[in-house]
Chains A and B, each alone.
Chain A
């Protein structure tokens, strides 16, 4: 075993200047900026749904999207805050109110506007486009989050990855209804909860694999 004093000597001898991590708020803003860029590019390439403006006037729809986007923003801020050693874990509570509103609004839509899934109205092409939106939104955001939080690997902070995954899931869930029409309640449920749960599960599993 190398003597601790020798290790200290070696670390000091090989010291290089480092650039300090920016404050969590700034880093979260950078990540959200990337999310906006991705969504703008997607809207240029894919085009938004034809009845978007009309649907945005419906309070339920607007609240659902706004709450999902807010959940994403606050979860991103929480992820960047808890990733810094010594910061309070209470940051993880930050996105919870918005998350509750988001999940509540989805639930309320299902209760008040129950529309059964009409399998004939949803073709394979539309499903493929939805999946493409899902991947094109979540993949760059997940990669960006992973790169920006790479220092967390040595700390094995699952809480950071959990918040990061929630941020990606919420932003993706907010983006999907902007591009695709889901009038069937079951589709809303599947996309909102299914997408969120899938991205959360993949994120937590990946962080567990990366850190073990």
Chain B
């Protein structure tokens, strides 16, 4: 899991207990204090402290996600979603206040939102069956779909089009796409999500009679 940080400042020895030994469902007071210190340092730009903090809170977030999601993939997605959210609004944490309630509020909010999104999606989507595969493989449909997709892609802003090309058409991993485009993984995730939302709406409009 976490590696001992190289060149870590001496004062970080105060927080060595943050090594994630367990995935307890409640952060202990010691953990909270350590996390609070680490977040305060992260807010000042200490990336070593930040890595230790995120590694430390991940098992706790996983235990929270496991209460709502059964699939391990869903749990991991939820953990990553919360980590991205923590990253985006880390400036809202006040080191004078306990870290646990701050983190738990964000985690619960994002996990519940994710469940809602899944619920909405499940209402409109059905699992892929063999019958769907045979229809999708119909060569007569492919040119039209391809043209429609190209037309829809042309409408997207350049940044979103590039993200879709890299991640969905060339099927690069997020890491490779980050290297290829110079855009951060967090931004790529958001951009491709927005692009797919727009494409979905464009393609559904086209499929309307």
Contacts and interface: CB of A to CB of B under 8 A. Distances in A.
Nearest to A211: B113
B106 A1 contact: no
A15 B91 contact: no
Interface in A58-91: 83-86
B185 A2 contact: yes
B58 A8 contact: yes
B26 interface: no
B164 to A, nearest CB: 17
Nearest to A15: B47
B92 A11 contact: no
Most buried by B among A13, A18, A21, A86: A86
B85 interface: yes
Contacts of A151: 88-89, 91-92
Interface stretch (B73-81, B131-139, B144-152): B73-81
Interface string A1-42: 110111111111111111111010000000000000000000
A1 to B, nearest CB: 7
A169 to B, nearest CB: 25
Given A84-B94, A155-B109, A11 B50 contact: yes
Interface string B41-77: 0111111101100110010000000000000010011
B47 A20 contact: no
A8 B97 contact: no
A154 B185 CA distance: 17
27 contacts: A1-B73, A1-B76, A2-B173, A2-B175, A2-B185, A4-B79, A5-B55, A7-B83, A10-B175, A10-B186, A11-B83, A11-B186, A12-B50, A14-B186, A15-B46, A17-B45, A20-B91, A20-B93, A20-B94, A84-B94, A85-B101, A85-B103, A86-B98, A154-B85, A154-B110, A155-B110, A156-B113
